[in-house]
Structure 1
Amino acid sequence: MTDADDTGYLAAFRDELGLPGIIDVHTHFMPDQVLRKVWAYFDSAGPLIGRSWPIAYRADEQVRLKTLRDFGVRAFTALVYPHKPDMAAWLNEWTAEFAARTPDCLHTATFFPEPHAESYVAAAVESGARVFKAHVQVGGYHPGDPLLDPVWGLLEDAQIPVVIHCGSGPAPGTHTGPEPIAGVLRRFPRLPLIVAHMGTPEFAEFLDLAEAYANVRLDTTMVWTDFSEADAPFPIREHGRLRSFADRILFGSDFPNIPHSYGHSIQVLERLELGEDWLRQVCYRNAATLFGIE
């Protein structure tokens, strides 16, 4: 699809479902120098990627914002994530400034296991952060690291969701997979997590966690796309649980770092044939309820 094709398709999709827009809980806006390093890593098909991964929406920030808005995205995130200590607080300063000048972006923040994590996470919460991002694979840390205990406790008490990449796709990390984060949930059972990519490729195991913990949600990011199905197909036997968790699955795209058109991320949800109300919940209502978007 071209951008014009996507715009027309997505407008018809919203009109048919009677939606005021789409809410995308998994988009990336970062400081320019950081994003360009991320793109360079994708271009190199580095070990955390493991395959060729062209960036479909490589453009300046204002162009990317206009593209999302033209697609009818009403609210989105600025998912940032540190890969080393002494980086998260600086990223949080940038995302706070970005949210202040981008009212349709949900104020996003992040953290890393380090002694001062609690203080800058508390400062981000105080300044209005509405969602956090954690990336176990890129960060290379165990989510149960004792340095993160105060962070998990603070976010559990504040009931601020964390979009967390903890599944072992596209390439496994030392601490990815369901068990490390399950250990965190055993200690912080009310922690509001949004498992990125539906937990690819451990789909069943992360659905099990959602069954066990009422505040665990999942996002659709790249799942069911032709690109992902070729490498990590979603098991047909789990389609019934997609219906069961209709109120806890949120739409995500991974924009701009996707190897396909934005509209394809929605088309694949339609292909599941789970019904119009399921699509309304996943593409708008669940996130609107979670983040208080009228």
Structure 2
Amino acid sequence: MSYDWYPPSRPRPVDGGVRARSRRGHIGQHWWSARFIEGLESIGVGGRLSRGKRYARAGQVVELRIDAGAAVALVQGSRARPYRVRVGVVAFGKREWAGIEQALAADAWYTAKLLAGEMPPDIEEVFAAAGLDLFPAGVRDLAMDCSCPDSEVPCKHLAATLYLLAESFDDDPFAVLALRGRSRDELLANLGARRGGTAAGAGSVEAPGPPPLSEVLDTFYTAPRPPAGPSPAAVAIDSLLDQVPAGGIAVRGRDVVELLRPAYRALGDRAATAPPPAER
């Protein structure tokens, strides 16, 4: 039963509110933004969505904050005090994120895309393999609350918040993951640690500086002795091709990596048999 009986009202104008960039049509440019909002639009709740979209474009959202497990907003309506809006999702626990990070770190493709600030197109499959959903499938997967008197969920204030939340993912796809409980810095640091290095933007430990000159005067003018160590292990000339992500370009039904491998090996054989360069 619908209780949408409130008479039309004009919202109070907001100075400096959060305004959607999209002026018409769909809100959200990237696939991950559209993926978040499609569940809401699929249920078809009458004019609330269209009014919420108008609110988002008019800048009626005073403030929007994204935290682990929830997005909180203030939305100005017709009353003097803005309405308090909260959109909650389930944040994954430490054990669940450990499994996700292990799967992401196992494939350099995911790490490279995330470091570039992009959401990998098939990242949902990684979560699905762990029995998790990255994006809500509909309003039933969201805990939504608004302090307005409208008893319908979502109301136009909630809808405006959801649209702006989806558009914010265009600017920062890591906000999708932050809602599920993992910030950008935490995720990249954990991926870097699992891959045996430090991911960009995750912070690093500063290397110690040189010792004071007073402590090395006895050896300062001594020619440095090269460190003793084992000779580097031989590396196959075509080993670089093993780093190319699987599922790449195919030429006449054959993977381009396998087509290039004989050429790499031929170049390696020629380099091995070539005479050393003459000394000058």
**TM-score normalised by length of structure 2:** 0.22
Structure number with the higher helix fraction is: 1
